[in-house]
Chains A and B, each alone.
Chain A
Amino acid sequence: GQQLNQSPQSMFIQEGEDVSMNCTSSSIFNTWLWYKQDPGEGPVLLIALYKAGELTSNGRLTAQFGITRKDSFLNISASIPSDVGIYFCAGHSGNTGKLIFGQGTTLQVKP
């Protein structure tokens, strides 16, 4: 079945540093999405990408939909303590309602 490989698995960075994480797949997706999950909460949508090559920003977050449609990355600039959490990439093929999630990247930010 479809699988997403998300890396890195975890990151521990200093406040103010930039962060980059990515997601790859063996399958093509029509939509890439990035979610963040805080402890004890459900994932929350950060950014949705609908077109190959699309680069989208949301505040300090920037995400890109890879040209091959098999990958995406998320960058966080000037990290702050509240960026702590688990970040998930997700892909949707458009043929079904299924959204496939990556394994997540756990981000810790040291003040």
Chain B
Amino acid sequence: DAGVIQSPRHEVTEMGQEVTLRCKPISGHDYLFWYRQTMMRGLELLIYFNNNVPIDDSGMPEDRFSAKMPNASFSTLKIQPSEPRDSAVYFCASSLTPGELFFGEGSRLTVL
């Protein structure tokens, strides 16, 4: 079975550029989560969706970050404009129940 698929795996961009991260959850999973991982802050929940509806976006750092889930099989996390402090590994995860998450391999973002 295919797991959670994220793209790109790596992205290097310059400050001010727009970044779009993509995620395909496991088919049938009702929950989708976006996490950010850094050495300093660990794993931080940015936003999560239930049945394609954003439920809690209180972890989104600021207005430069936005996330969408237009259908059950696709979600995007967009950063515009990007800044060096956004450099991190961004994980998408999906689950059938809220606790048992299945993570993708992550998208490593470097903003120069």
A residues adjacent to B (C-beta < 8 A): 31, 33, 35, 40-45, 48, 88, 90, 92, 94, 96-104
Contact = CB atoms under 8 A, between A and B. Distances in A.
A42 B104 contact: yes
B61 interface: no
Given A41-B105, A42-B93, A101 B98 contact: no
Given A45-B100, A99-B99, 14 more contacts: A31-B99, A35-B101, A40-B106, A42-B105, A48-B99, A92-B99, A94-B98, A97-B50, A98-B56, A99-B45, A99-B101, A100-B45, A101-B42, A102-B42
B43 A96 contact: no
B34 interface: no
A96 B102 CA distance: 17
A103 B42 contact: yes
Contacts of A100: 45
The 3 closest A-B pairs by CB, nearest first: A42-B103, A97-B98, A92-B99
B99 A44 contact: no
B100 A33 contact: yes
B90 to A, nearest CB: 10
12 contacts: A31-B99, A33-B99, A42-B103, A88-B43, A90-B99, A94-B98, A97-B33, A97-B98, A99-B33, A99-B45, A101-B43, A102-B42
Contacts of A42: 4, 91, 93, 103-106
B98 A99 contact: yes
Contacts of B12: none
